[in-house]
Amino acid sequence: MTEFIRKRTANAKNDILSGLTVALALVPEAVAFAFVAGVDPLVGLYAAFMIGLITSIFGGRPGMISGATGALAVVMVSLVAEGNAFGAEGENLGLYYLFATVILMGIIQMLAGVFKLGKFVRLIPHPVMMGFVNGLAIVIFLSQLGMFKDASGSWFTGSQLWIMLGLVALTMGIMFGLPKLTKKLPEALIAILGVSAIAIFGDFDVATVGSFIRDGGGEGLKGGLPQFQTDIFSKVPFNWHTLSFIGPYALILAAIGLIESLMTLNLVDELTETRGNTNKECLAQGGANIITGLFGGMGGCAMIGQSLINIKGGGRGRLSGIVAALALLGFILFASGLIEQVPIAALVGVMFMVVIGTFAWSSFRILNKIPISDVIVLVAVSSLTVIFDLAIAVIAGVIISALVFSWENAKRIRARKRLREDGTKVYEIWGPLFFGSIIAFNEKFDVKNDPEKVEIDFVESRISDHSAIEAIFNLVNKYEEAGKQIKLKHLSEDCKILLYKSSPKFREVIVEDIDDPRYHLAENPEAFTKGLSEYKF
């Protein structure tokens, strides 16, 4: 028991300090995303608290931070607006439709975990991952530029701009320089506290968390504990019209939330050289969104910026996320006055350092060293993440990569042709047989001029899909209609099962109980070498 506790508390100090830093960074983010979605700031703060706490305890990736995110907020804008239009003016019905949508979103995400769909994140290629982090770094950077505007939307000028830039630069300087002096102190937390002290005691006229909330129409950070939203069940009718309205939004939000969460999980895996559990994360994200919807939160997912702040601050365990969530709740309940005095410049400086750490600068170095198709994918995903959103960018990147992979494999189908002493013509097929290689496969055969007996040897080929089955079926029919005998040899067991299932005709042409010639080649290296030298296409 002592050893168990010791292992769990070995990194406790770093987890706690890093969690406090993350909590400070969560405040303006949650408030800003609530404003984007068109709801009260407390709705965003409650979401950050509940989702952050639940995923930290039950999630599949210790050290990863979840909360209200911009990727989801931009989808919620039209949902809230359309929901408000269903009710009377001032009824704020859109908020309750948002809660219902978040609950349904959570159910969809939990189903993804139950059916173990999280493993499909493995299908995301590395160029898509690099494009994702680059695009997200740009999005985070652009989102921080809005902090350089006043309540009217005008850019800061004069002394106000210079003070803002100076405090941002000071924050970044502390975060850059402190680790070179000592690694025992969390640089982000020290930078925030130091710059806040300078701004407060120097009586600088700068934007603070409090002024940011009030300029956005909020009344302040102060609030109570989240309350169960019984009005959801009375204000949102549970009928087909409601489901048809919130269903598409819930599906989009669930997809975006899972994609961003699982890709952030992969990124944290790489940084910490550990392995998270994708299906467990799906379940935790889904359960957290159901709870936050029931208790008045706007929903959320993993946050790459805050996750990187946590990891680089030394946070590795579940304790860091738990501390961040509880500290955020503590700010709301007891320390709203203090947190409202933190200058926005300090938090912007922290996020700028996150941008620098997030962006894959190595992508510039490797552009001329990787295939042009991967360059296109990397640039496309980065651009689409900025222009549209993460889900569209990742899906587009995966589709482009899949098409390129299919095209390249389609060109690899080969047929070695030879005649036996008895006059039988043998076609030895090499390469994958699937929808992309069917045309090239058909071009290898000369039905009209081939001899009476033909064998097709699949020793180095695999039948992958229905297109391949149909191509072989049609080829067999062509030879039989020409009055010629055709046999299929050296099919693997899984390929034979596919063909037998598709048509009983294949039982007449497939040769069973035949040795795999590769075994004999392995036993006779000279024969293997000779076979390679005779290989012709």
**Largest Cα–Cα distance of the chain, in whole Å?**
100
Q: Which residue has the tokens 């210790």?
A: 62
The token pair that represents 358 in the structure block: 């997030």
CA distances from 476 to 59, 435, 456 (A): 53, 18, 10
Beta bridge partners of 229: none
Confidence of residue 38 (pLDDT cuts 50, 70, 90): confident
Model pLDDT, residue 528: 44
CA distance 274 to 264: 13
Across 14-23, 26-35, 175-184, 478-487, least confident range = 26-35
505-528 pLDDT, tens per residue?
A: 999 999 986 555 544 443 444 544
253-263 pLDDT, tens per residue?
A: 998 899 889 98
**Mean pLDDT for all residues in the chain:** 86
Are the C-beta atoms of residues 132 and 398 closer than 8 Å to each other?
no
**What would the mean pLDDT of 449-468 be, rounded to a whole number?**
92
Which alpha helices (DSSP H) does 359-509 contain, by range?
A: 362-366, 372-387, 390-410, 438-443, 466-481, 493-502, 506-509
**What would the mean pLDDT of 309-328 be, rounded to a whole number?**
91
Q: What is the sign, positive or negative, of the torsion defined by CA atoms of 344, 324, 67, 140? A: positive
Measured distance between the N- and C-terminal CA atoms of the chain, rounded to whole angstroms: 67
pTM: 0.73
Q: Which residues contact 124 (CB under 8 A, 6 or more apart)?
A: 263, 266, 394, 397, 398
More confident residue, 342 or 70: 342
Q: Which residue has the tokens 């501390």?
A: 323
Confidence of residue 357 (pLDDT cuts 50, 70, 90): confident
As a residue count, the chain comes to 537
On the question of pLDDT at 1 being above 80, the answer is no
- Fill in the amino acid letter for 374: D
Q: What is the sign, positive or negative, of the torsion defined by CA atoms of 393, 49, 25, 180? A: negative
Model pLDDT, residue 535: 44
On the question of pLDDT at 300 being above 60, the answer is yes
Q: How many CB atoms lie within 10 A of CB 117?
A: 16
The domain segmentation of the chain, as residue ranges, is 2-359+367-401, 411-533
Q: Under DSSP, is residue 516 helix (H, G, I), strand (E, B) or coil? A: coil
On the question of pLDDT at 6 being above 60, the answer is no
CA distance 356 to 361: 9
**What would the mean pLDDT of 438-446 be, rounded to a whole number?**
93
Beta bridge partners of 415: 429
Give which of 516, 491, 490, 514 is closest to 502, Cα–Cα. 491
Beta bridge partners of 301: 67
On the question of pLDDT at 62 being above 70, the answer is yes
For 87-101, give one letter per residue: b (16+ CB within 10 A) or e: eeeeebbbbbbbbbb
- Say which CATH class 411-533 falls into: alpha beta
On the question of pLDDT at 4 being above 70, the answer is no
Q: Which residue has the tokens 């039950």?
A: 58
Model pLDDT, residue 280: 94
Q: Specify the pairing of strand 301-302 against strand 66-67.
A: antiparallel
The token pair that represents 73 in the structure block: 């907020």
**What would the mean pLDDT of 141-149 be, rounded to a whole number?**
85
On the question of pLDDT at 423 being above 60, the answer is yes
221-251 pLDDT, tens per residue?
A: 777 899 999 888 888 988 999 999 999 999 9
More confident residue, 389 or 112: 112
